[in-house]
Structure 1
Amino acid sequence: MLVCSALTLSTSLMRFQFMLDRYHTIGVDAELTTWNLKKHLLTPPNILVLNLSISDMFMAMKSPIFIVNSLWYGPVLGEIGCQIYGFVGGLTGTTSIMSMAILAGNRYRVISKPFDPDRKSTKIQSMVQILFIWLYALCFASLPLFGISRYVPEGYLTSCSFEYLSDNMKDRIFILIFFIGAWCVPFSLISFSYINIVSVIRRSDFKVSENVDDNIYRKKTEMKITKTIFILIGLWMIAWTPYAIVALLGISGNKEYVTPFSSMLPGVFCKLSACANPFLYALSHPGMKKEIVNIISNCCLSSSAETIHLDFIKGKTNCSSSESNSSSPSKEKADFTQDRTNKNANEIHPIKNSRIS
């Protein structure tokens, strides 16, 4: 009974993961295609968003292995495959976390210092930030490959992650440091930045205008920004807090609360974040939405023009065929009339015809 229940839960998670992959593919494809066709959108802030998309894309590339492991009921690629799976997960997960944190910090700097000429990031600064993000993530993700902790199968043995159920003190210290560096630090930066953004916007709206419509518009804008910020913070917490809770339960000795199903859920929530990031950080941008609408409109117009052109050629061919077909009966009628005339002439002049013959 327990085995059947475990297989059912594993299959359900596999299907849900497959569904999330489809939405993630749609979002990332739309985002990357737009940036490839409209390179003027790659401003320094958007380079960080592109880095987030690339990280999420590599994170999603693990899904086929997860699905195969679910069908195989265990790690198909063995220990080496488990190490690679865990390393890619740790690297891309930490990169995504830090990318969102630095994006929040950059937004706060731009909004809090509107008259500072150096408030906006340059391309070089964005590239340095991206380099720092990947090195920061690589530092944590590579340590288990060199004996500091390790990557092991988790849950229903369909995925691999850090060893957070070990009684070894060195493994526990590593998980605790990783929790501080990959959850506490970015969460503090994200919360500080977005909460202060709301505070700056509210302070700037203290100057009440005499125009009632302006006041209503400001209030609606403030509410919209506040709602967006709470969505960003809430989604980040929903995506990455389950992993932190499970890891802390493991290293604190409360292993009885870490079941195979509960240890599999954090990975699903992380994938949920990867699916939502393209829509929240890239496709919600006004310039990006405008360019996507233009691309779709141009594609539709090109398709319509091609269809009209083909219909015109087809109609012209049909007209030519009709003309040739209509000319054939006329020719046959003329030949028939000529034969009839000759026959009548022979009947009228029999003597002349006999002399000729």
Structure 2
Amino acid sequence: MSHSRIPDTYLDAYYGFWFKDGLTMRDILPKDLQEMSSEHWLNQAPMHPFINDIVGIFFGVLTVINFLGNGTTLYLYMKEPSLRRPSNLLVVNLAVADILMIMSNGIPLTYNMFYENWWMFGKTWCVQYGLWGGITGLCALWTLVFIGYDRYNAIVGGLTAKPFTNTKALLALVFCWGYPVAILIWPTLELWSRWSLEGLMVSCSFEYNSDDWNNKSYTIFVFSCCYCVPLTAILFYYTSIAKAVWAHEASMKAQAKKMNVESLRNDKGNEESAEFKIAKVALTNVILWYLTWTPYAVVVMMGQFGDRNSLSPLASQIPSMMTKCVSCLNPIVFAVSHPKFREAMRKHLPCFKEEEKVVAVATPTKTVAA
């Protein structure tokens, strides 16, 4: 990407970025793109063009990692019959949502960053970018909620809990994809808010920098339905799981003390129960998801109700980019950390196969007289 495409700007011999005093994005952005942006972003000064290059490289690497991790998860599920359980359909759905996220958001953004200084695909694809980024992101979140429910059902419910069936799994998948569509159809049709450019003008999101009540009310709606509601559900499930695990561990320790033994476990080298391991894996994924998405939620609420002047293009773009990172973390947490997935990796992926130990066995020799 050449800096010469930005009028009234230049790079010095030390790659310092210089531009005419008072120059804003309104002065350099094409007219059709100005109609797709809020006044806040139009009044911002242009950013160093190398920032776009760095973002492009970042998303290029992210795309490769995403395809490798989630592609491996899907391959193992199709290859290994023991993984084809109803609860693992949720893990597969998570991988599908992550791949679609990077295809609809990561690949176009990477190409855009190296070719142009601002969004180059027009209004129609801006809408598609925001819509599919939102659908896949929310689908992944609600998939995590149902994974939390499955763990809650298995650990807290115990032997009395009804197992997660194929019917339940399919209904969960329908909800995971249907819920985001019901939420995001309104800005797509421009009936309630709209999709617009944000930050560095190379990505699109719903309008959260407008004083119009139409946009303010939609921001409250999205924050409540897409952040607060799933957060409440996940906190409930994992708080209940933690309580159940701690109560079980305390009960086993008390019983061991009565029996005058150190532990009731047969495998003393493995002090963690299977339930505790499952809870840790799922909880870790949820924490990572919220650490990734919470900064963006803060940016959105700040842009709509806080001090908008303190919201710079780069400050808003970094949290937006972080939301795509979780698509690379999910396969690591769920596939690599899951014993059955690790077993399938060792079985079906040559690079993960363990070398078989060869044990030499002495065989008697037989002497045959001539």
Instruction: Indicate which of 317, 320, 336 corresponds to 1:283.
Output: 336
Instruction: Indicate which of 91, 111, 125 corresponds to 2:168.
Output: 125
Identity %: 25
The answer as to whether partners of 2:94 and 2:143 remain within 8 angstroms in 1 is yes
Pick 1 or 2: higher relative contact order, CA cutoff 8 A, min separation 6: 1
Give the 3-state SS of the residue equivalent to 1:167 in structure 2: coil
Q: What is the match of residue 81 of structure 1? A: 125
Q: What is the match of residue 21 of structure 1? A: 63
The answer as to whether partners of 1:154 and 1:161 remain within 8 angstroms in 2 is yes
Q: What is the match of residue 168 of structure 1? A: 212
Q: What is the match of residue 304 of structure 2? A: 251
Report which stretch shifted further, 228-237 or 47-56.
228-237
What per-residue deviation string (whole Å, max 9, x for no partner) do you get for residues 193-229 of structure 1?
1122111011112232243254666754487566545
The answer as to whether partners of 1:69 and 1:159 remain within 8 angstroms in 2 is no
Deviation of 1:266 (Å): 1.9
TM-score normalised by L of structure 2: 0.75
Q: Distance in 2 between matches of 1:266 and 1:44?
A: 34
Q: Distance in 1 between matches of 2:94 and 2:280?
A: 22
Higher helix proportion (structure 1 or 2): 1
Instruction: Indicate which of 147, 150, 153 corresponds to 2:197.
Output: 153
Report which stretch shifted further, 31-40 or 178-187.
31-40
- 5+ long unaligned stretches in structure 2: 1-16, 20-45, 355-370
Instruction: Indicate which of 326, 337, 357 corresponds to 1:273.
Output: 326
The answer as to whether partners of 2:194 and 2:207 remain within 8 angstroms in 1 is yes
The answer as to whether partners of 2:130 and 2:204 remain within 8 angstroms in 1 is yes
The within-5 A match list for 1:63-82 is 63-71=106-114, 72-82=116-126
Aligned amino acid, residue 262 of structure 1: A
Deviation of 1:79 (Å): 0.8
Deviation of 1:8 (Å): 2.1
Instruction: Indicate which of 262, 267, 289 corresponds to 1:212.
Output: 262
Change (3 A) 1:146 1:261: same
The answer as to whether partners of 1:68 and 1:76 remain within 8 angstroms in 2 is no
Q: Distance in 2 between matches of 1:262 and 1:97?
A: 23
Change (3 A) 1:20 1:220: same
Aligned amino acid, residue 243 of structure 2: S
Aligned amino acid, residue 80 of structure 2: K
What per-residue deviation string (whole Å, max 9, x for no partner) do you get for residues 78-123 of structure 1?
11111111111111111111111121122111111112151x2110
What per-residue deviation string (whole Å, max 9, x for no partner) do you get for residues 274-294 of structure 1?
100011123322111111101
- 5+ long unaligned stretches in structure 1: 302-357
Q: What is the match of residue 110 of structure 1? A: 154
Give the 3-state SS of the residue equivalent to 2:245 in structure 1: helix
Give the 3-state SS of the residue equivalent to 2:200 in structure 1: coil
The answer as to whether partners of 1:198 and 1:225 remain within 8 angstroms in 2 is no
Q: What is the match of residue 345 of structure 1? A: none
Report which stretch shifted further, 69-78 or 82-91.
69-78
CA RMSD of aligned residues (A): 2.3
Matched, 1:55 2:108: no
The answer as to whether partners of 1:98 and 1:182 remain within 8 angstroms in 2 is no
Deviation of 1:45 (Å): 0.6
Aligned amino acid, residue 271 of structure 1: K
The answer as to whether partners of 1:90 and 1:140 remain within 8 angstroms in 2 is no
Aligned amino acid, residue 252 of structure 2: K
The answer as to whether partners of 2:209 and 2:308 remain within 8 angstroms in 1 is yes
Q: Distance in 1 between matches of 2:310 and 2:136?
A: 27
TM-score normalised by L of structure 1: 0.78
Give the 3-state SS of the residue equivalent to 2:160 in structure 1: coil
Give the 3-state SS of the residue equivalent to 2:58 in structure 1: helix
What per-residue deviation string (whole Å, max 9, x for no partner) do you get for residues 166-201 of structure 1?
111011111111111111111111122112211101
Aligned amino acid, residue 83 of structure 1: V
Change (3 A) 1:224 1:283: closer
Q: Distance in 2 between matches of 1:226 and 1:110?
A: 10
Q: Distance in 2 between matches of 1:26 and 1:34?
A: 12
Aligned amino acid, residue 207 of structure 1: M
Q: Distance in 2 between matches of 1:76 and 1:224?
A: 46
Matched, 1:134 2:177: yes
Report which stretch shifted further, 282-291 or 150-159.
282-291
The within-5 A match list for 1:202-241 is 202-205=246-249, 206-208=251-253, 209=256, 210-214=260-264, 219-221=271-273, 228=281, 231-241=284-294
The answer as to whether partners of 2:149 and 2:237 remain within 8 angstroms in 1 is yes
